[in-house]
Amino acid sequence: MTEESAGDVIRRDRFSGGPARDFLSSLAADERIFEADLAVDRAHVVMLTEQGIIDDCNAADILSALDSVEKDGHAELPGGEDVHEAIEAAVIQRVGEDGGKMHTARSRNDEVATCIRYRLREDILDAIEGTLALREALTETAAEHTETVMPGYTHLQPAQPITVAHYLLSYEAAVARDTARLLDAYGRINQSPLGAAAFAGTTFDVDRERTADLLGFDSVLGNSMDASSARDFLAETLGALATHATTISGLAEDLVIFANKGYVDLSDDYSSTSSIMPQKKNPDTLELVRGTAGDAVGGLSGLLTNLKGLPRAYNRDLQLAHPHAFRAVDAVVNATDVAAGAVATATWNADELAADAGDGFSTATGVADALATTGMPFRTAHEIVAAAAEGIDDADDAATIAAKLDAAAEGVLGEPLWTRVNRETVEAALDPAESVSSRDSLGGPAASAVETQLDDARARFGDDADSVAARRDALAQANEKLRAEVDSYV
């Protein structure tokens, strides 16, 4: 059969083209789901044969034709509205009219929905692995810096001393939740719509469980109308990706600021320079990581706008829905990989960090805590320290600050501070390292508390890495099983 006539079998003359032909076609974008469509076709044909819907001979011809279509690649497909139609046309070209039996008991609606899920689950596993690599970089860098004191900020102003480990583990915890959200989304991606047909099921005795199993899906979507039209799995996946992109945009922003202050040196591999200013070393990669949130959030917004108010069941708008997810996942995976590399190769400058850790009277809270431990109400302690804070500057040594606190106490209490608390306790509270080590409450920055956080981070890394490996394994096994079934016919 010629290319032309194979195409005609599917589209017939009335729908063979016209000015809107390119507008209608998703064939180019469908390259992303070319392999997925071949797998879906194979599983469907194996099932149709096992159910006695088509015979072994037809199956052998169609399955051999699919191998040949795969070998030739997406670029060699005949034209068509989409990859589903083009592959069917290519099969009919090779097999003759009986190639058209491949499309028995299904529709492009359940077919495309299956292809998107089949492909997206691989992409989401890549995204999850990206988050794992970033978590590993954060955790292992943190392990080297449990004693590296640095300024901690709120409102971008020095607030309280912390350590580099405590800071990095704050991001590890957030990225771990991003991993969890992606894993959760994976569970709902990995359900099979195949066999739902257009939306109202089929008169043929299909075995939907069988195709689901051959394609590595965990389960079958139980309502055929939902199965072929639902795209909420895209929304939650993009929601998880956009959340993760937002998480790493904050990390990137911090690192840009810290590099600017000389607290951290980025590796040259993750920096760029200026085409005119020879002295420049710019944190461009991290700025692009920060900017990737725009792609992900924009994709989520585009997707939700596409889906909003769609009537049941399939509508062609849906052809424009999943590309949002594929574009976003590519952007986010790249950004996450770069963030992981930048963190793993950066050098933290302990001396610069320590020198600034007490700036802006960042130990003030610790001093107020020290006063409050004597039985003084915390509010009174806060008032005394706040009164002193106005007159304290970064050049003051501990003795000078202690004297200023004492003067403030006179003003508030009408008596010297040293009748309430001893001077050594207050001076110790003014030391940033001391301030950190005294904050050993659960989750705090003291090295002892951070050790627990490191243990937790490593444990959840192991669990999540196992989860991903199990899912990859299940997909690889399904692939082998499907190939073995196909080989028994061809």
Is residue 82 at the binding interface for ligand ARG, with CB under 6 A as the rule?
A: yes
- Interface with ligand ARG includes 314 (CB under 6 A)? yes
Smallest separation, CB 360 to ligand ARG (Å)? 56
Measured on CA atoms in the order 257, 258, 260, 265, is the torsion positive or negative? negative
Among 311, 316, 395, 441, binds ligand ARG (CB under 6 A): 316
**Which residues, other chains included, contact 159 with Cβ-Cβ below 8 Å and sequence gap of 6+?**
151, 152, 153, 360, 362
Q: Which stretch binds ligand ARG (CB under 6 A): 57-65, 66-74, 105-113, 420-428?
A: 105-113
How many other CB atoms are found less than 10 A from the CB of residue 84? 25
Cα–Cα distance, 216 to 209 (Å, whole number): 10
Please, what is the minimum distance in Å from the beta carbon of residue 321 to ligand ARG?
8
Question: Is residue 318 at the binding interface for ligand ARG, with CB under 6 A as the rule?
Answer: yes
Residue 99 · residue 26 · CB < 8 Å: no
307 lies in the binding site for ligand ARG (CB under 6 A): no
Cα 220 from Cα 208, distance rounded (Å): 7
The answer to whether 51 and 205 are in contact (CB under 8 A) is yes
- Tokens read off for 342: 């930048």
In the bound state with ligand ARG, the residue whose beta carbon lies nearer, of 307 and 318, is 318
C-alpha torsion 415→419→423→426, nearest 10: -80
Q: Segment near ligand ARG (CB under 6 A), from 128-136, 217-225, 242-250, 315-323?
A: 315-323
Tell me the C-alpha distance between 218 and 192, whole Å.
8
Neighbours of 155 (CB within 10 A): 6
According to DSSP H, which parts of 308-397 are helical? 322-345, 350-356, 364-372, 378-389
Q: How many residues bind ligand ARG (CB under 6 A)?
A: 9
Cα atoms found within 13 Å of the Cα of residue 402, Cβ hemisphere only: 16
| 319 interacts with ligand ARG by CB under 6 A | yes
Which of 439, 442, 420 is closest to 429 using CA atoms? 439
**CB closer to ligand ARG out of 199 and 361:** 199
Q: Which is closer to ligand ARG, CB of 199 or CB of 489?
A: 199
Three-state DSSP class for residue 109: helix
Q: Give the separation between CA 284 and CA 288, rounded to whole angstroms.
A: 6
Q: Min. distance of Cβ 76 from ligand ARG in angstroms?
A: 19
- Quick check: 12 binds ligand ARG (CB under 6 A)? no
Distances (CA, A) of 29 to 24, 319, 324, 326, 340: 12, 10, 11, 10, 29
Q: Interface with ligand ARG includes 303 (CB under 6 A)?
A: no
- Is 155 an active-site residue? yes
**Nearer to ligand ARG among residue 81 and residue 485 (C-beta):** 81
Judged by CB under 6 A, which of 74, 101, 108, 471 binds ligand ARG? 108
CB of residue 319 vs ligand ARG: minimum separation in angstroms?
Answer: 4
Pairing of strands 191-192, 157-163: unpaired
Comparing CB distances to ligand ARG, the nearer of 231 and 404 is 231
Least Å from the CB of residue 112 to ligand ARG: 4
Residues 385 and 364: beta-carbon distance below 8 Å: yes
CB of 173 to ligand ARG, least distance (A): 38
Which of 49, 109, 437, 453 lies at the binding interface for ligand ARG (CB under 6 A)? 109
Query: Between 88 and 172, whose beta carbon lies closer to ligand ARG?
Result: 88
Q: Which residues of 200-218 are buried (b: 16+ CB within 10 A; e: fewer)?
A: ebbeeebbbebbbbbbbbb
Min. distance of Cβ 74 from ligand ARG in angstroms?
A: 14
Beta bridge partners of 321: none
> Which one of 67-75, 313-321, 411-419, 452-460 is the stretch in contact with ligand ARG (CB under 6 A)?
313-321
**Residue among 65, 112, 182, 221 that touches ligand ARG (CB under 6 A):** 112
> Does 26 interact with ligand ARG (rule: CB under 6 A)?
yes
Respond yes or no: is residue 274 known to be catalytic: yes
Nearer to ligand ARG, 323 or 432 (CB): 323
In the complex, what is the shortest distance from the CB of residue 73 to ligand ARG, in angstroms, rounded to a whole number? 19
Which of these is catalytic: 16, 267, 274, 301? 274
Catalytic residues: 155, 274
Q: Which residues bind ligand ARG (CB under 6 A)?
A: 26, 82, 108-109, 112, 314, 316, 318-319
